[in-house]
Amino acid sequence: NARAHDGSTVFYPLTHNLHQDGILRTSVAFPQANAEQQEQAESMLSAIMQALNYVGVMAMECFITPEGLLINELAPRVHNSGHWTQNGASISQFELHLRAITGLPLPAPVINAPSVMINLIGSELNYDWLKLPLVHLHWYDKAVRPGRKVGHLNLTDSDTSRLSATLEALSPLLPGEYASGIIWAQSKLK
């Protein structure tokens, strides 16, 4: 989600996020989100960015309530909930931010397939992840410590069954605490 100098805005589809202990563990994004929620989110975030005269990428996390979306957090920057865009969108959130702040064209990103992002938190690098053809590794080259974000894995495929099967194959290659996030992502893909 970004705003250009001329006030125009573009949006990614809403992303489903799983947080555990206040940390984003897993995200799932689809080419089309719930239309009513997407419209409400775009309206709210556009109004905020316009009022602040904000230029660049801004992430907005919301809770889904019976009355609609309730804003939980605003992040005036690229955000880990948008990391899936590196492999799942025609324009990543990083490129979108640079385009917005430098005045380059800001077309709406194209999303052709579902994506899953798994945050790597305090986990050692495991090159066996790359034996799975849908897995894209983004490693931050930081010292591994408990609770520290050290990278993320992106998976994108138009076939949700293949995406789910890849998550199943990935699960034993990750520490046990990732299992619940993988099961959650698989449930979203059904």
Cα 14 to chain centroid distance, Å, stands at 9
C-alpha torsion sign, points 29, 32, 36, 41: positive
Q: Which CATH number fits domain 2-189: 3.30.470.20, 1.20.1290.10, 3.20.20.10, 3.40.50.2300?
A: 3.30.470.20
Partner residues linked to 57 by β-bridges: 2
Q: Is the CA virtual torsion 172, 81, 64, 41 positive or negative? A: negative
CA gap 187, 118 in Å, rounded? 15
What pLDDT, on the 0 to 100 scale, is given for residue 29?
98
Q: Of 168, 170, 159, 166, nearest to 123 (Cα)?
A: 170
Query: Tens of pLDDT along 131-190?
Result: 999 999 999 999 999 999 999 999 999 999 999 999 999 999 999 999 999 999 999 999
pLDDT in tens, 27-60: 999 999 999 999 999 999 999 999 999 999 999 9
Mean of pLDDT values over 98-123? 98
* pLDDT given at position 152: 99
Query: Across the beta sheet with 9-10, what order do the strands follow?
Result: 9-10, 2-3, 56-57
Residues 174, 126: Cα–Cα separation, whole Å: 8
CA quadruple 130, 136, 120, 143: dihedral, nearest 10: 80
pTM: 0.96
Query: Please, which pLDDT band fits residue 63 given cuts at 50, 70 and 90?
Result: very high
Distance CA 58, CA 43 (A): 14
Query: How many CA atoms lie less than 13 Å away from 127 in the CB half-sphere?
Result: 0
Q: What is the bridge-based pairing of β-strands 135-139 and 56-57? A: unpaired
Q: Give strand ranges (E) for 55-172.
A: 56-57, 59-65, 68-75, 115-121, 135-139, 149-156
Residues in the chain: 190
Q: Say what percent of the chain tops pLDDT 90.
A: 100
For 28, the token pair is 């799932």
User: Quick one: pLDDT at residue 116?
Assistant: 99
